[in-house]
């Protein structure tokens, strides 16, 4: 099982701990064995321990420590936002956020929808069972 995602300049990572939890950042330089210099369009360039980052599949084409404007342009060119939101990982996170922010009525409607879907699935399953047994 070789590694597929490497820490390299331009690697997009997800912050999984701390004040910037949940943000997508770009690794812009490596400080030492444990830390990277990290940047994102809406945050100040700062150092972060690798333990706080989870690498993603997305990589953009930049030089070491680009200016903010260059970074933003490169991210637009690689279309990081859309790639992320269409990936299954990104979509799961969006759904999690939406479910967490549901109010009580929303949770009730969600329950009704789940029951309905389960009912439909069970009906189809029963139909298939009847066909195979017949």
Alpha-carbon gap, residue 131 to 94, rounded angstroms: 39
Q: Does 102 bind other proteins (CB under 8 A)?
A: yes
Q: Does 115 bind other proteins (CB under 8 A)?
A: no
Alpha-carbon gap, residue 14 to 105, rounded angstroms: 32
Q: Does 134 bind other proteins (CB under 8 A)?
A: no
Of the candidate residues 32, 61, 103, 131, the single one contacting other proteins (CB under 8 A): 103
Q: Does 108 bind other proteins (CB under 8 A)?
A: yes
3-state secondary structure of 25: strand
Say how many C-beta atoms besides its own lie within 10 A of residue 20's C-beta. Answer: 18
Nearer to other proteins, 89 or 108 (CB): 108
Distance of closest approach, residue 41 Cβ to other proteins, in angstroms? 28
**Do 24 and 16 meet the contact criterion of CB atoms below 8 Å apart?**
no
Which residues sit at the interface with other proteins, rule CB under 8 A? 100-105, 108-109, 112
């Amino acid at each position: 099982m070789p590694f597929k995602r490497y820490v390299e300049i331009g690697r997009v990572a997800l912050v999984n701990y701390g004040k910037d939890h949940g943000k997508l950042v770009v690794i812009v330089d490596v400080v030492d064995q444990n830390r990277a210099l990290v940047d994102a369009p809406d945050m100040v360039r700062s150092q972060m321990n690798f333990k706080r980052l989870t690498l993603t599949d997305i990589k953009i084409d930049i030089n070491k420590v680009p200016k903010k404007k260059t970074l933003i342009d490169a991210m637009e060119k690689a279309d990081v936002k859309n790639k992320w939101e269409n990936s299954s990982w990104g979509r799961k996170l969006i759904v999690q956020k939406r479910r967490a922010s549901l109010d009580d009525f929303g949770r009730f409607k969600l329950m009704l929808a789940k029951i309905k879907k389960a009912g439909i699935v069970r009906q189809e399953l029963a139909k298939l069972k009847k066909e195979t047994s017949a």
